[in-house]
Every structure is written in structure tokens, then in C-alpha cells.
Amino acid sequence: MTPTAEASPKTRDLSLDVAKGLGIIIVVIGHAWRGLDSAGMIGSPDLFRLIDTLIYNFHMPLFFLLSGMTYQAWALKRPYPEAALSRVTRLLWPLVLWSYIFVGARIAAGDAANTEVSGWQNLAFFPLPPRDHFWFLWALFLQHLAALALIRAVGRPLGAPVWAALAILLILGSSFTPVGLNPWTFGALTYAGAFLTGLALGPSGLPVRGPAAFVLAAVAFVALQAASFQLPASLLTTQILGILLSLAFLAMVRAACAQGTGPALRLLAFLGVSSMGIYLAHTIFSAGTRVVLSRLTQDLSLHMIAGTLAGIIGPLLIYALIRRFGRPAWIGF
């Protein structure tokens, strides 16, 4: 989901991949949870709001922040035309392809889909402004092009104070002025603060180590999540809260990775590297699992476990299959 970290395995920061791996699991859980709610299978509105709020407080700001951390170093290594073209192939192409695949899957599902679409003529649509969860790719595309243009115009790396000042400017501007907030630019502008915060951090990120750092970050994360239920609902608080939670989450991951790299962390890192494919295809597998399983049981826990596993394993199987016959990039993976 952050297709800028194209370094060799020897130079990759494991903690960033682990953070993406955990993040993509949370994304799948969140969409499976909302899918069950749309299907009328969650009986308690309070329970739905609790889980939904805890997830959506931070999981998307986290990915924008992670993308920003590696972006400037990546952009400086490539000629401008090559870098710009790669954003088309790595972000726009998956958006277009999977928008049509997603609508096609809804048509095939018929009345079993939460949002019913009938008639193959519905495939004759323009994929922008983006639909469903593909808004992320369009927002990231706009952010990457804007940052790339700025970096190239300056001709050298921009320092953390510049990126931090821009983050503050965009957070305040998007929160208090309606300029530019429309279906085409809303995601790019309201998550620009998180992306620019990542650029301010840079690839080195947060220098945290040791159990004490993990505990402090965990306490901060829990406290912010608890406070979120008392904060006034506004775009400003949403943006700031998302960035602070993402920083606390990343600090926990950094501290955990500093203690060693066991099998669990390596598995999470693998999911992080595979996060783009999981993000693109997971809802099809999670929704399909919900439809089939609902004919057998209404057990909420079983639906969440099965839907989450299907949303992760299904895209990985597609990735393995496409590698046997071609290149994963053909389908945006």
C-alpha cells in the first residue's frame, strides 16, 4: 500500500514492513466488520461503534504516514519522468483495474451483495472520482505527484522543519476552509497532514528502543483511543488524533522490532510487503466468505475470523498464481 519502498531486502527497515503488515490486517478486519454491519448481522449499535471507532481512528493515517517516511529518498533517486510514470503504473492502474473488477464482482453476486448492482451495463462508468476503498490510491497519487514536484523544484532534500510546517498548514487549511474539499481531492487533502508528517520523520523514523519505550507508546496509544470518545467530532481533531495514534503505534512496532526478529515479526513483515495486493482484493474474499457462511451460521466471531483470514489469504493466492504465469504488476499487485 506504500509502493515507494523499493529498496533491496538488505536495506529494508523491518519495522516499517511490520507496521504495514499489522496495518493491513486491521484494514481487513475493519472492512469485514463494516460488511457485517451492512448485512444487518451486528445486533448492537454500541458494539459496532466501539470497534469501528477504534479501527478507523488511525489505520488509514498510519499508511499515509508510512508512505511519507520513505517517499523523499525514493523520489530523489529517480528522474522526474520515471518517478511520475511509476505513480501512474503503481497507483492509477490498480485503481482503474480493480474498480471494474469490484463492480463486476458485485454484479455477479446479485442480491447477495450488500450494495446490489445489476446489469453488465454498469461496467460502463468512469473510475474517477474513486469508488469504495480505492479512494486511498487516488489520494496517494495526488500527494506523491505534489511532493515530487516540490522536491524536484527545490532540487535537494527538504528538511524536517519544512515538511512539518507544511503538515501544520495543510491540517489547518483543510480543517477550517472549504477550499479544494470535493470528491476528487478530499482524501488527499485531509490525509496530507499524515503524509507530510511521514516526510518530516524520514526513513529513520522514531528512534525508540527497549521495553520501557514500548510501554510508554502503548500507554499513549490506549489513552488517545480512550480520549477519542470524548473529543468533539471535527475534521481538525480527527486529523490530529490519527497522526498521534499512528506515531504511538509505530513507536510500539519500532520498540518490538528492536528486541529481535522472530517468526511472528517476519510473517507480519511479509504481509506488509504484500499489503498492496491484499488491499486491492481483500473485500471480494471477505464478502464472499460472509455470503457463504451466513447460510450456515450467524456467529459473529466465526464470521470475523473467517472473513479476515479469507481477506488476507485470498489475495496472497492470487499473487502466487499470477507469479506462475506473469508479473504481479500486471494486476496492480
The confidence score (pLDDT) of residue 287 equals 93
User: How many residues does the structure list for the chain?
Assistant: 333
For residue 5, pLDDT beyond 50: no
The 10 Å Cβ neighbour count of residue 186 is 16
Q: CA 73 → CA 59, 83, 237, distances in Å?
A: 24, 12, 30
Q: How far apart are the first and last CA of the chain?
A: 9
The confidence score (pLDDT) of residue 274 equals 95
State the average pLDDT over residues 74-81: 91
Residue 227, C-alpha cell as written in the block: 480520549
Look at 109 and 300; give whichever has higher pLDDT.
300
DSSP state of 115: S
Q: CA 231 → CA 21, 219, 234, distances in Å?
A: 29, 18, 9
Q: Which residue is associated with the grid cell 505534489?
A: 146
State the average pLDDT over residues 238-258: 96
Tell me the pLDDT band of 63, cut-offs 50, 70 and 90.
very high
DSSP state of 204: T
Contact 52, 30 (CB under 8 A): yes
For residue 7, pLDDT beyond 50: no
Contact 280, 259 (CB under 8 A): no
The model's pLDDT over 16-41, given as tens digits with 9 standing for 90+, comes to: 999 999 999 999 999 999 999 998 99
The model's pLDDT over 142-181, given as tens digits with 9 standing for 90+, comes to: 999 999 999 999 988 999 999 999 999 999 999 998 777 8
The confidence score (pLDDT) of residue 105 equals 86
**Percent over 90 (pLDDT), the chain:** 75
The confidence score (pLDDT) of residue 10 equals 52
CA-CA-CA-CA torsion sign (93, 94, 95, 96): positive
DSSP state of 122: G
State the average pLDDT over residues 255-280: 92
For residue 115, pLDDT beyond 60: yes
Q: CA 266 → CA 32, 120, 185, 312, 325, distances in Å?
A: 25, 42, 36, 16, 27
For residue 3, pLDDT beyond 70: no
The model's pLDDT over 274-304, given as tens digits with 9 standing for 90+, comes to: 999 999 999 999 999 999 999 999 999 999 9
Residue 176, C-alpha cell as written in the block: 477550517
State the average pLDDT over residues 96-122: 77
3-state secondary structure of 268: helix
Residue 289, C-alpha cell as written in the block: 466468505
**Percent over 70 (pLDDT), the chain:** 93
3-state secondary structure of 295: coil
The model's pLDDT over 176-215, given as tens digits with 9 standing for 90+, comes to: 987 778 999 999 999 999 999 999 999 888 888 888 999 9
The confidence score (pLDDT) of residue 106 equals 84
Taking every pair of Cα atoms in the chain, the longest distance, rounded to a whole number of angstroms, is 61
For residue 241, pLDDT beyond 80: yes
Instruction: Please provide the average confidence, as pLDDT, over all residues in the chain.
Output: 91
For 98, left (φ over 0), alpha (ψ -120 to 50), or beta?
Answer: alpha
The b/e string for 311-325 (b: 16+ C-beta within 10 A; e otherwise) is bbebbbebbeebeee
